[in-house]
Structure 1
Amino acid sequence: MKTALLQITSSDDPAENLEAVRAMMADAAAQGARFILTPEVTNCVSTSTTRQREVLQHEEDDISLTGLREQAAALGVWLLIGSLGIKTHDADGRFANRSFMINPQGEIVARYDKIHMFDVQVTESETFRESANYRPGTRAVVADTDFGKVGMTICYDLRFPHLHSALARAGARILTVPAAFSPVTGAAHWESLLRARAIENGCWVIAPAQTGEHPNTRGKTRYTYGHSMVVAPWGEVLIDAGTETGIHFFDLDDSSVTEARRRVPSQTHVRPFDGP
């Protein structure tokens, strides 16, 4: 099945980002894509909590979710919205970082809230505290599609192999890792971790990413690594999108999962153990 990754540079204006993504989706579908994937925080990249509170919306009111569902239905494609920043009704006012699987009728077939929060200091001048504004999810999710089961993760989840292994054991043959990766950690770890998750689980790993310098009306400038990537179940990197925005295509072939797992059936060898 022809599949398309969208590599984008979202601003802190959801309406502007929505129009850009809808146009890219139309272009991808016109070139034959049946499954389209967008990166993490497709609707808004911002370092300002004030700006996020101004423009983010609850799921039932979110213009990005509504507009992208409508576009998926109009084009008749499957769509993974890598994630949207979504307001919640939590007492502490934190948002959810939520991924959506949309079917060709525009219906939501699965939702996944990012479990692992990016609370790190990658350099002396670059610190992230995702948990200050976003609350972690608590449930792993496998989406049922007509092309296979898809294990849904987001960005920093990539560093937690037990999550991906659980998804694979639950039937996932494709793992999605939409991201807005830091340039520092991206250069050091992105490809290695993606290839490891593919090899360990005999799964396709599809990772659409944000890239470049993100225009913001408030807060400091945010930069992301880019390099949207597709890794086949045997570990081959089929796409490395570099740092430019654009659409990248590949053929998603389920038989390669079967072959990789036949050669190294590691998921059938998982054993319980004691300690340490």
Structure 2
Amino acid sequence: MRLIATTWQPVWHETPLGWLDRYRAALAEVAADRDTLVVFPEYAALEAAFYGTVTLDARGWMQRGANHFDAYCDGIRALSKDTGATILGGSGFARKGDQIVNRALFCAPEGEAWLEKQMPTPYERALDMAPGEAMPILATRFGKIAAVICYDSEFPPIARRFAEAGAELLLVPSCTDTEQGASRVEIGCRARALEGQMIVAMAPLVGEVPGCEVIDVNLGQARIFCPPDGTSPEDGTLAQGPRNAPGFAILNTLSESLAQARKGTDVSVFAHWPESETPQNPPETRNFR
């Protein structure tokens, strides 16, 4: 079983389906098949709207992105059917009643599910984006999968709920426009791997996208993390792609890495976590001034 996290740079196309040809070529490059799980980044779905002559502000891009989101998801479904791969498509603006949420399609030959961002960033809140609903834990041939989008990874209780419910693998599509933002998501993913004793895969958007205010500058590096324990790599990094450039982080030993994450360790953070939530004595404050 293979896990592939993409570092993806959206580009403009001459035709509405140009993005789909590009995705198909990328999946062919990594020989994606039934034993492959591929993760695309946050806001990668906007690439389906990158054609023609367009001049829009951020709210305009919300509407254009939402207008193209269903077509993007249809393309992801076609790619999964053609290759047999399981794909977490890039997220994008999607309509939910009279609101806009940040949503992604998880698509497998056996079925599909929606992932929505639960914690909008301050930027997204300024655009009046709504918080979404958590994706269910999916029992798949790759293991029990959960997913969160970017900012969600910075809130330990969100991932903890998934871990307590049995998730073994956490997928984190992301989009950040500063090195600080990229570091925050990376730190969050590393911490979630340690706390939940899970495999965590982050897939960031990268590069400059002229003409789209929402994702005009993007920084990051695809990484796949495990708890740094037992026989795992010393820093807990199982795979990584190029930094701030398109590419892939490829883990060819997913099944073995999942087994190691919780059962082949010297410490038991996941098992001992409840003890940390029930201290014998509440903290006190002493005045040393």
Q: How does 1:117-266 map to 2 (within 5 A)?
A: 117-119=120-122, 128-130=123-125, 132-139=127-134, 141-186=136-181, 188-216=183-211, 219=213, 222-234=216-228, 236-241=236-241, 242-251=243-252, 252=254, 253=256, 254-260=258-264, 262-266=265-269
Give the Cα separation in 1 of the matches to 2:182 and 2:68: 34
Q: 1:131 to 1:104 in 2, by over 3 A?
A: farther
Distance 1:104 1:31 in 2: 11
Residue correspondence of structure 1 range 28-39 to structure 2 within 5 A = 28-29=30-31, 34-39=36-41
Residues 12 and 44 of structure 1 are in contact (CA less than 8 Å); yes or no, is this contact kept in structure 2? no
2:116 maps to 113
- Shift in CA distance, 143/221, structure 1 to aligned 2, threshold 3 Å: closer
Q: Equivalents in 2 of 1:204, 1:140: separation in Å?
A: 17
Q: Alpha carbons of 1:161 and 1:173: their partners in 2 closer, same or farther (altered >3 Å)?
A: same
Farther off after superposition, 265-274 or 96-105: 265-274
Could you tell me which of 28, 31, 43 is aligned with 2:45?
43
Code of the aligned partner of 1:96:
V
| Residue 62 of structure 2: aligned partner | 52
Tell me, in whole angstroms, the C-alpha distance in 2 between the residues paired with 1:97 and 1:147. 25
Of all paired residues, the percent bearing the same amino acid is 24
Q: Secondary structure at the match of 1:135?
A: coil
Residues 135 and 17 of structure 1: is their aligned pair in 2 closer, same or farther, counting only changes over 3 Å? farther
SS of the residue corresponding to residue 45 of structure 2 reads coil
Match of 2:50 in 1: none
Q: CA deviation at 1:25?
A: 1.8
Determine helix, strand or coil for the equivalent of 1:177: strand
Match of 2:231 in 1: none
**What CA deviation, in whole Å up to 9, does each residue of 1:99-133 have, x standing for no partner?**
2221135x31x2121101111xxxxxxxx244524
Distance apart, 1:160 and its partner CA: 0.1
Equivalent of 1:21 in 23, 30, 41: 23
Partner Cα distance (1:152, 1:221) in 2 = 21
Give the TM-score normalised by the residue count of structure 1.
0.82
CA contact (8 A) 1:95 1:134 kept: yes
For 1:183, the aligned partner's letter is T
Separation in 2, partners of 1:220, 1:138:
22
Structure 1 Cα separation of the partners of residues 159 and 100 of structure 2: 24
TM-score under structure 2 length normalisation: 0.79
> What is aligned with 2:83?
75
**How much has 1:84 moved relative to structure 2?**
2.8
Shift of 1:35: 1.1
**How many Å separate the matches in 2 of 1:132 and 1:213?**
21
- The 1:187/1:207 distance shift into structure 2, 3 A limit, reads closer
Where do 5+ consecutive residues of structure 1 fail to align?
Answer: 120-127
User: For residues 163-206 of structure 1, what are the alpha-carbon distances to aligned partners after superposition, in whole Å with 9 as ceiling and x for unaligned?
Assistant: 11111000000111100023242354333222111111100000
Secondary structure at 2:89 match in 1: strand
Structure 1 residues 188, 112: closer, same or farther in 2, change over 3 A? closer
CA contact (8 A) 1:47 1:221 kept: no
